[in-house]
Amino acid sequence: VLNSCTPPRLIDLLPGDQTDRCYGVAIDIGTTSNVVYLVDLVRGKVLDRASAYSGQISAGEDVISRIIFSQKRGGLSRLQQMVLKTLNGLLEELASRNQIPLRQISKAVVAGNTTMVQLFLAIDPRTIREMPFVPTIGQPLPITAEEIGLNINPQATVDCLPVVGAYVGADITAGVVASDMYDTDALTLFIDVGTNGEIVLGNRDWLITCACSAGPAFEGSGVRHGMRATAGAIEELWIDHRTFEPTYQTIGQLPARGICGSGMIGLLAEMFVTGILDKAGKIQRNLPTPRVRVGDHGGEYVVAWANQSGIGTDIVINEVDVENLLRTKGAIYAGFSVLVQSVGLELADVEQVFIAGAFGQYINVEKAIQIGLLPDMPWDRFHYLGNTSALGA
């Protein structure tokens, strides 16, 4: 295997001609979700993907909580084992589904925010939250799968992409590469709507970046019936302004099991436009519909009744959910607004906007603008790229 950082080395000896059976994996270690893509290295083709919530969530939903957890006795090792357990489960799922021996996976490239990369490598992340807020390592050296504990070919090379800073990680390095914004003359705004909300502005001549603590609401965490963009997730939704009855579309056309990021954007926008939500994010309880009611967490709106859902209970959104979603979208909007202003520009100067994140198959730009998640500009400037962390890896 030829690596730009190291001389060629022998990874394995296999019987017969197995040239066409060489596989690799691109791994996105997110704060909330982990995603693994199986890649045919001969044809350069993505064969399959698998995702799961991070096993580290039990140690905290944000990076600061996990850094604090890592300082406990044995905490760093436990956090590493948590993420490895999640990743190895996804690797086994992909190998089984595609009938590929794990030993034939001979390469792994890893991207993620700075804290997640350091926890994956069991590198103490304490300096990330202490002045002057610098990562312990910027460009991790290649290691073997055996050394780190990934259940693929033991001698497979595992490369972690370089990080930019304490709060702008390898996921953004991957995103800048995947979007090609580093190689364009157009003034470009790159927005990664994840738990950490990382944003990049610039073009081929210059790049400036920032991060904001957005929270995991649009990734399905912190919302009662939120979920990842998997089968059964509501990905788009409309509400009749007269009857307040919803019409929705789910991934895979299956009974609704929850609401993914793109569905939450549509739901918030529709609830606001139809008057179910006021500007403060409060649900109006005097509307003539049984779908608006009072629950354990204040007012709530029933998106799907129990007999229509795929989980046997009503799927709802309540005022606490709305508050978490508004906090996330507010952090993102503040982040890119301040970033643009910091270089003496205005949002109107931005020529194209790349949106990354685990929303689903697409994002409704009109509705994202309506709720204040994205800047108000012509729709043709927006391009949804999906999971650019994994794409760049």
Q: Which of 110, 144, 167 is the last residue of a domain?
A: 167
Please state the pTM of the whole predicted model: 0.88
Residues 6+ apart with CB under 8 A from 289: 243, 244, 245
Edge-first strand order for the sheet with 45-53 is 45-53, 33-40, 23-29, 105-112, 157-160, 143-144
What is the tens place of the pLDDT at every residue in 277-322? 998 999 999 999 999 999 888 899 999 999 999 999 999 999 999 9
Q: Mean pLDDT score of the chain, rounded to an integer?
A: 92
Q: Give the number of C-alpha atoms closer than 13 A to the C-alpha of residue 42, restricted to the C-beta side.
A: 8
Provide the pLDDT for residue 213.
Answer: 82
Q: What are phi and psi of 155, to 5 degrees?
A: -95, 5
Q: Residue 344 sits in which domain range?
A: 179-393
CATH number assigned to the domain comprising residue 43: 3.30.420.480
Rounded to an integer, what distance in angstroms lies between the CA atom of residue 370 and that of residue 357?
A: 19
Residues 6+ apart with CB under 8 A from 152: 25, 91, 102, 103, 105, 106, 108, 145
Pair 149, 208 in one domain:
no
Provide the pLDDT for residue 305.
Answer: 97
Provide the pLDDT for residue 1.
Answer: 45
Rounded to an integer, what distance in angstroms lies between the CA atom of residue 139 and that of residue 159?
A: 10
Please state the rounded mean pLDDT for residues 93-113: 95
Edge-first strand order for the sheet with 292-295 is 292-295, 298-304, 315-318
In this structure, is residue 17 part of a structural domain? no
Tokens of 76: 């760093």
**Into how many domains does the chain fold?**
2
Q: Pairing between strand 315-318 and 157-160?
A: unpaired
What is the tens place of the pLDDT at every residue in 163-192? 999 999 999 999 999 999 999 999 999 999
For the CA atoms of 116, 121, 393, 31, the dihedral, rounded to the nearest 10 degrees, stands at -10
386: confidence class by pLDDT, cuts 50, 70, 90: confident
Q: Pairing between strand 352-356 and 382-386?
A: parallel
Q: What percent of the chain has pLDDT over 70?
A: 97
Pair 200, 339 in one domain:
yes
Pair 78, 199 in one domain:
no
Q: Is the pLDDT of residue 359 over 90?
A: no
Pair 380, 262 in one domain:
yes
Q: Which of 113, 138, 167 is the last residue of a domain?
A: 167
Q: Pairing between strand 233-239 and 258-259?
A: parallel
Provide the pLDDT for residue 6.
Answer: 60
What count of other Cβ atoms lies within 10 Å of the Cβ of residue 186?
11
